[in-house]
Structure 1
Amino acid sequence: MSNAENAQYTDPRLIELYDLQNTGVDDYRFYEQLIGRKALCIADVGCGTGVFAMRLAQQGHAVVGIDPAEAMLDHAGRRDRQHQVRWLHGDASRLPAELLFDVIVMTGHAFQCLLTDAAVQETLRAAHAHLRPGGRMMFESRNPATQPWQRWVPAHSHRVLSKPDGESVAIYHDTQSMQGELLRFDTHFHFQRSGWRLMSHSVLRFMPQAAIAEHLQRAGFGPLQWFGDWQGGAWSMASPEIIALAYA
Structure 2
Amino acid sequence: MADEIFTSPRLAVLYDALDPDRDDLDAYLDMVGEFGARSVLDVGCGTGTLACLLADRGLEVVGVDPAGASLAVARGKPGAERVRWIHGTAESLPVLSVELAVMTANVAQVFLTDEDFVSTLRAIRRALAPHGLLVFEVRDPSRRAWLGWNREETFSSTSIDGVGDVEAWCDLLDVQGELVSFRWTHHFTGRGESATSDSTLRFRSRESVAACVGTAGFALQEVRGAPDRPGREMVFIVSAGTGRVP
* Same fold, TM-score > 0.5, yes or no: yes
Q: Which runs of 5+ in 2 are unaligned?
A: 241-246
Equivalent of 1:241 in 233, 236, 240: 233
Residue 199 to residue 245, structure 1, CA distance change in 2 (3 Å):
same
Contact 2:155 2:167 in 1 (8 A): yes
Are residues 1:87 and 2:79 paired? no
2:138 to 141, 150, 154: 141
3-state SS in 1 of match to 2:226 = coil
**1:65 Cα deviation from its structure 2 partner:** 0.5
Find the residue that maps to 2:21 and give its secondary structure: coil
Counterpart position of 2:101 = 104
Of 174, 177, 183, 2:174 maps to 177
Structure 1 partner of 2:57 = 59
Helix, strand or coil for the counterpart of 2:169? strand
Q: Secondary structure at the match of 2:76?
A: helix
Pick from 204, 208, 229: which aligns with 2:205?
208
The 8 Å contact of residues 55 and 82 in structure 2, kept in 1 or not, is answered as yes
Structure scoring higher RCO (CA < 8 A, sep ≥ 6) equals 1
Which segment is superposed worse, 139-148 or 16-25? 16-25
Alignment root-mean-square deviation, CA: 1.8
Give the equivalent residue in structure 1 for 2:40. 42
- How far is the alpha carbon of 1:178 from its aligned partner? 0.4
For residues 26-54 of structure 1, the C-alpha deviation after alignment (integer angstroms, 9 at most, x for no partner) is: 22110111110856111100000111101
Q: Which letter maps to 1:84? A: R
Aligned pairs, number: 238
Superposition TM-score, scaled by structure 2 size: 0.91
Q: Aligned-pair distance for 1:166?
A: 7.1
SS at match of 1:36: helix
SS of residue in 1 equivalent to 2:219: coil
Q: TM-score, normalized by length of structure 1?
A: 0.90
Q: Contact 2:5–2:197 at 8 Å: present in 1 too?
A: yes
Out of 195, 200, 223, the residue aligned to residue 192 of structure 2 is: 195
Distance 1:130 1:80 in 2: 27
Aligned to 1:69: 67
- The letter for the 2-side match of 1:92 is A
Matched, 1:20 2:17: yes
